[in-house]
Amino acid sequence: MGAVTANAQRVLVGAGATIEIDGYWGPKTQAAYDSASITAQAEVRQLFDVLGKQYPWLRRGPIGSNGGSMAAVSAAIRAECARRGYASAEFVVAQAAHESAFGRSQLAARYNNFGGLKSGVRPNKANGTIEFNTREGYGSNASVVKAPFLTFASVEDWVVTELDFLERKTKGAIKGARTAREYNELLRAAGYYTGDPKVYLAALERGTMMA
């Protein structure tokens, strides 16, 4: 998808955006798309339509209660991490961006769940659950299953539940992580995700650079 993203970035730059053409759809490219004209957005969508897939972050305008805004999510994460004494909030922000497709997944944009937290997480500040298909595993072991995910009334309620969960899973070690590699290894060892660790680490590193 990198080549298509790079072409989309060229369209946005041609429409007046000041972003780097690097083939990576990060927060800056998302912001450029969100503020682009209807014509430029339509041209970008046409590029991705060729891939034959749906990309929720290419919708025009806000969706759900928070409009998929990573700015508000980042602010809430940083505030709560500072209150709890985290060495760095950058990795939590990058994780949320990766898990939620930069705030544009339906689970995030409509239900304020930016970490893919499922109903088994206890205790929590959720206001309900909703079922979504989710991909588990990777390579030959990958499968798609339907699972109940938590829904939240606010981003702040999700942040509290997310950090509580991360701290329990890692026995508090997550608070001291100072590199993306260290943070990723803590998540992997705790069984937070089932995907390819190399892919997850790369996403954390990209997200940290773009934050």
Write out pLDDT tens, residues 64-123.
Answer: 344 446 778 888 999 999 999 999 999 999 999 888 877 878 888 889 999 999 999 988
The SS3 call for residue 19 is coil
pTM of the model: 0.70
Location of structure tokens 């290419």: 58
CA–CA separation, 96 and 211 (whole Å): 11
Write out pLDDT tens, residues 133-153.
Answer: 888 888 888 888 899 999 999
Q: Domain 70-210's class?
A: mainly alpha
Length of the chain: 211
Q: Given this model, what pLDDT does residue 65 score?
A: 41
Indicate the DSSP class of residue 38.
H
CA–CA separation, 73 and 26 (whole Å): 15
Q: What are the extents of the domains in the chain?
A: 2-58, 70-210
